[in-house]
Amino acid sequence: MQFLDSLTKEIKTFLPVQNRVVMYVCGLTPYDSAHIGHARTYVSFDVIKRYLIKKGYSVFHIQNITDVDDKIIKRCKETGANPKNLTEQNHNEALELFGQLHILPADVYPKVTEHIPQIIDLIKLIMDNGNAYETETGVYFDVSSFGGYGKLSGQDMEEIEAGSRKEVDESKNDPADFALWKKTKNEIIEFDSPWGRGRPGWHIECSAMVRTHAKQTLDIHGGARDLIFPHHENEIAQSEAGTKKKFCNCWMHTGFLTVNGEKMSKSLGNFITLRQALSNSTPNALRLFYLQAHYRSPLDYDEDNLQATEESVERIFNTLGLLNETLANAGSHVDQDFREKTNSLVATFYKNMENDCNTPEALSSLFSLLRMINGHLASGKVDHAQLRIVKNALQDMLWILGLEEKRKGLEEKKEDILALAIKLGAPKPETPEQALEFLIKLREDSRAAKDYKKSDEIRDKLKAIGIILEDKTGTSGSRWKII
């Protein structure tokens, strides 16, 4: 398996330190609701995680909660909210939405507020090693003391210094130096430290939580592309300056997400929360939309494209339904051509996943496989043995992609189905299943008698209560699904 390492800018074979892959993905700063940009990143790393699990690795996934941050303080001052309540409410809501999106939960969600002693210990270590200094405003990392600074972002020190600005209330030695600890007085969020009351800088928080929970060089450190500089650049510098060990073996970053071609922002009126997105599309469609672009590529959010992915999801699970129906019967026919072509498409799916998690090409293989399955099923002469193999392969592929069929039960439509069946002459059915069976049989009888008006009426009335009837190809009978 190969990934592109953002540090070396090269595709390289993924070799974890142990059989257990340790993956750290930068988590939310929960001062506001999670949005579709967050979801794009977490779906991408969810697929990477799922693929590693399917390959047989144990994955230890760390995803921090930045509950100490200037944005949180600003929001609390504006609204009068309690920082702990604000961050817990927003993060709990985000986890619930991520669950709806089929994102596997992390093994740990460490909070900054619960790791202040570890953060202080790491800052002391960095200072003892001569890489940081204290001023009247805080403790700062001395960028000039770390020879490899800029290696992740590809910037040299002149560019970094030109892009930095020296605040009037700071006494830093150099504009590029960054805060490890900010001294404060009677702030909403502050803690005791050897340097007085204050709070940690943003970057040191992640380094300390990695050191606490990973206990080794990270196999993968992930996040959105906009975190490369300064956040991830600073993580490398302070971690390696403090521990004198390599911080991470493979850096992975997701591409930017825009909305209708523009950067998402509230001022432009194109800021879309994850809850809003999931109210307009299904979790499967949103996941599939994200995966149609390579995780490193830019992606433009477009609701017209989302509608197309809804239809693609329907095709996937319709084919799976047809497979299940066909495999309910036995057969001994062998189709060697079908076997060779389907095995090749399954192999191509995995080859694409091995190549830096190339989901667009993997999806192309998946949909080619679906077309081949549908054509084979329609032929009337099916290879049951190969279809069982293909079904298992298809289910594995869908699990890796995080696409899950969620069949709604008839129970929630019980009253409407029973009422319709009784109105059309059913002898008092006791369950919605019995009522639906009666209605399907009545429609088939009407079609056989060429009473198409009645047949269409039954179909339309079922659709009105949220049940779609689909006639089977090449045979009698109908299948149903709830919408």
Q: Enumerate the known binding-site residues for ATP.
A: 266
Own/partner long-range contacts of 382-385 (Cβ < 8 Å, ≥24 apart): 382/326, 382/331, 382/333, 382/335, 383/331, 383/333, 383/334, 383/335, 383/338, 383/339, 384/326, 384/327, 384/329, 384/330, 384/331, 384/332, 384/333, 385/332, 385/334
- Residues annotated within the binding site are 26, 206, 231, 235, 266
Cα 321 from Cα 327, distance rounded (Å): 10
For residue 1, give the nearest of 55, 62, 46, 45 by alpha carbon: 55
State the pairing for strand pair 10-13/299-301.
unpaired
- The DSSP H or E segment spanning 208 is helix 202-213
Own/partner long-range contacts of 299-308 (Cβ < 8 Å, ≥24 apart): 299/40, 299/255, 299/256, 299/257, 299/258, 300/257, 300/258, 300/259, 300/260, 300/261, 301/36, 301/257, 301/258, 301/259, 301/260, 301/264, 301/272, 302/260, 306/280, 306/281
DSSP 148: T
264, burial (CB in 10 Å: exposed 0-12, middle 13-18, buried 19+): middle
- Residues annotated within the binding site for Zn(2+) are 26, 206, 231, 235
Own/partner long-range contacts of 19-22 (Cβ < 8 Å, ≥24 apart): 19/57, 19/58, 20/57, 20/58, 20/59, 20/60, 21/52, 21/57, 21/58, 21/59, 21/60, 21/219, 21/220, 22/60, 22/62, 22/214, 22/216, 22/218, 22/219, 22/220
Residue in the structure block whose two tokens are 């009784």: 422
Buried b (16+ CB within 10 A) or exposed e, 104-138: bebeebbbbbebbebbbebbbbbbeeebbbbeebb
State the pairing for strand pair 299-301/467-471.
unpaired
Signed CA dihedral, 313, 316, 319, 323: sign only: negative
Cα 448 from Cα 476, distance rounded (Å): 10
